[in-house]
Amino acid sequence: MKINGTPYRTIWPTPDAVEIIDQTRLPHVFATLRLNTMRDAERAIRDMQVRGAPLIGVTAAYGVALAMREHASDTVLADACNVLLAARPTAVNLRWGVEKMRALLAPLPESERAAAAWIEAARIADEDVAINAAIGQHGSEIIRAIHQKKGITVNILTHCNAGWLATVDWGTALAPIYTAFDAGIPLHVWVDETRPRNQGASLTAWELGQHGVPHTVVVDNAGGHLMQHDMVDMAIVGCDRVTARGDVCNKIGTYLKALAAHDNGVPFYVALPTPTVDWTLQDGVKEIPIEERTPEEVTHIAGLCDDGQVRTVQVTPQGSRAANYGFDVTPARLVTGLITERGVVKAEAGAMRALK
Ligand code: MRU
């Protein structure tokens, strides 16, 4: 996608390193960052300079490649995989990316690993772009159908950031929106701010704005009200892990939106690349470990001050405890359909087997 007219991906290799867009500085500062070592990649994932399930997976793959450039022994490969796997717990794409690298590299002689790792990481990145473009095509047909029925602007609600910043390019939940918008279908996006880290307010709003897509930021609790008043035609969210029976783990607050959508007859779609399915799990509520992050993300908030400086302020009383659950699970029964690169399927074990 473009930033001020220049095409960018969220991650790209240079001759001796990997570069990323530092997402912790958006929307107020656009800055890129160089990852020179596997530890740099691990830190970028842990500190959310890169985030979003697919991008985390690709960054981890490049992390393994960076480790192999320093030393390509079995021990270094095993250590790199373990360190990267522990960087963030929820997104299954992290494990998928790391295990793909391990499976390719482990049987190779040490002398061949560095070159092979670099090629494989780039291939995984390209694959992500192709997958998301296909998600965009399939999902845009749903938006088109709503437009044809309704005849006026299609209002779509989204949560967190599952746009191109969460992937290598295009995004998952936002790919259908970009594809439909580019095809001339009139649409408008309700952007949940997504406390505590505000990925909606800072990242989704920014990238939609860069592409010229009409959008409005709302507080996380507004969705139910909008749906009750016929102001939402559909919801599309991304996800970090989907179980074999279609339970969906995504950013905290997704479940409440799905409940409100169900109560109001609003179609609730989840967009995902098939590597986001964790075929080893069934019951998402019981089986998916949920990331708990630092309470400071709840007690404090950062923003642009009138003097042009970004500062952090405290919003809670001194001494109040805060809990910070990063994700929740939406049961399959609340999901209208899963938009994948292979088409739209029901969130249900039988239908999902076709994605294996
Ligand atoms: O904590 P984050 O910002 O990594 O969470 C991201 C999300 O929840 C996204 O919706 C999800 O990863 C899908 S990204 C295409």
Summarised one tens digit per residue, pLDDT across range 86-135 is 999 888 999 999 999 999 999 999 999 999 999 999 999 999 999 999 99
Ligand 1 atom closest to 91 (CA): 12
- Sheet containing 268-271: give its strands across: 215-218, 187-192, 154-158, 234-237, 268-271, 337-340, 343-345
pLDDT at 167 over 90: yes
Residue 91 has what pLDDT?
83
Identify the residue whose tokens are 């109001």. Answer: 264
Peptide bond into 317 cis (omega under 30): no
Q: Whose CA is nearest to atom 6 of ligand 1?
A: 52
Mean pLDDT score of the chain, rounded to an integer?
97
Dump pLDDT digits (tens) for 50-91: 999 999 999 999 999 999 999 999 999 999 999 999 999 888
Contact 187, 143 (CB under 8 A): yes
Mutate to test the pocket of ligand 1, among 170, 199, 203 (most ligand atoms within 8 A of CB): 199
pLDDT at 251 over 90: yes
Ligand 1 atom closest to 56 (CA): 4
Ligand 1 binding pocket (C-beta < 6 A) is: 51-54, 91, 160, 162, 166-167, 172, 199, 238-240, 250-251, 326
Distance CA 54, CA 48 (A): 13
What are the start-end ranges of the H helices in the chain? 38-46, 53-70, 74-85, 92-105, 110-150, 174-182, 199, 205-211, 223-228, 254-264, 284-287, 296-299, 349-352
Dump pLDDT digits (tens) for 226-245: 999 999 999 999 999 999 99
Q: Exactly one of 233, 240, 247, 328 is catalytic; name it.
A: 240
CATH 1.20.120.420 fits 2-127, yes or no: yes
Distance 271 CA to ligand 1 centre (A): 11
Task: Give the domain 138-355 fold.
Answer: Rossmann fold (3.40.50)
- Does residue 220 have an active-site annotation? no
Residue 120 has what pLDDT?
98
Distance 112 CA to ligand 1 centre (A): 34
pLDDT at 4 over 90: no
Mutate to test the pocket of ligand 1, among 48, 159, 160 (most ligand atoms within 8 A of CB): 160
Going by the DSSP 8-state scheme, the letter that residue 200 receives in this structure is I
Q: Parse the chain into domains and list their residue ranges.
A: 2-127, 138-355
Mutate to test the pocket of ligand 1, among 92, 239, 242, 254 (most ligand atoms within 8 A of CB): 239
Distance 91 CA to ligand 1 centre (A): 8
Distance 328 CA to ligand 1 centre (A): 12
Q: Residue 348 burial (CB < 10 Å; 0-12/13-18/19+)?
A: middle
Ligand 1 atom closest to 160 (CA): 10
Closest CA to 170 of 132, 134, 122, 128: 132
Contact 128, 52 (CB under 8 A): no
Distance CA 56, CA 168 (A): 10
Dump pLDDT digits (tens) for 296-328: 999 999 999 999 999 999 999 999 999 999 999
